[in-house]
Amino acid sequence: MSRYPLTDLALSRRLERAEACANAAFVEARAALSPAVGAGWRDVGGAYVMFDGIGSPLTQSFGVALFAPASPDQLQGIEEYLGARGAEVVHEVSPIADPAILPILAARGYRPVELTSVLCRVLDPAQPSPDSGTPGLVARRIAPDETATWVETAAAGWGETPELAEFMRDFGGVTVRASRTHAFIAERDGVPIAAGAMHINEGVALLAGASTVPAGRRQGAQAALLAARLRYAADCGCDLAMMCAAPGSGSQRNAERRGFRMAYTRIKWGRGDALTREA
């Protein structure tokens, strides 16, 4: 396998921009599907700020002080954009960003509210992806007429309560329609048991949205989905795959077992109601 890239400004810009573009594509799909939400996004001094409705986890910014020097004006522009829509202001800030952003955030009332492990893996088209190893288990990209099946499978995997299932059904319905986002499904003997998604941006494949229905767990479905997505990303010319997880979580450990390594730990900054919500 190719040598991993150094954890530096260039790598962080690639990874953060890939996630920002995935979020922007989602917001554009939301705007097309549900115009009343008023979803949209804007580039503010190199940072992408997204509005996906009040309370949406996608209503936030990516790339503050990463593509330009830290500036109160950049935060002011983001605050005005989200404030005009009645939304809380939340920033995902890379540790590789201009360190001068830290006192600026503190002076404006922001505090750390969440940590995220950002992991990456080099892709090599010449290296074969492992098979699932489980008879009857197949992971593949969905056909255009399978979007409803994918949405229901994803919702069943995440939906521990009826309310959460409905939220994930809505979320999945937008995800599967976002540009440059590819949906994958895992089947056991032809029955869908797991779902996952992947967004591609300038050679970086962002893996997200993986879930398994309760009856299909511990059968290797997620490993099969991961292999299928990595193989497809490499075939599309991507040289890097990335994913995000809670630090030290099972998701992070599983990713590391499959060739991902830590790039850095990202900090989410919020103020006001965001502090209470994340506590």
pTM above 0.85, yes or no: yes
Rounded mean pLDDT, 117-128: 87
Helix residue spans in 2-71 (DSSP H): 9-33
Q: Please list the residues that pair with 116 across neighbouring strands.
A: 266
Tell me the domains of the chain and their CATH numbers: 9-116+265-278 (no CATH), 124-238 (3.40.630.30)
Strand order in the sheet with 261-270: 40-44, 47-51, 60-62, 90-93, 261-270, 111-122, 240-245, 204-212, 191-201, 181-188, 137-141
Residue predicted with more confidence, 162 or 123: 123
Render pLDDT for 57-76 as a digit per residue (tens, 0 to 9).
Answer: 999 999 999 999 999 999 99
Rounded mean pLDDT, 18-43: 98
pLDDT of residue 1: 46
pLDDT level of residue 272 (50, 70, 90 thresholds): confident
Q: What is the mean pLDDT of the chain?
A: 92
First-to-final CA distance of the chain: 41
Render pLDDT for 200-219 as a digit per residue (tens, 0 to 9).
Answer: 999 999 999 889 998 888 88
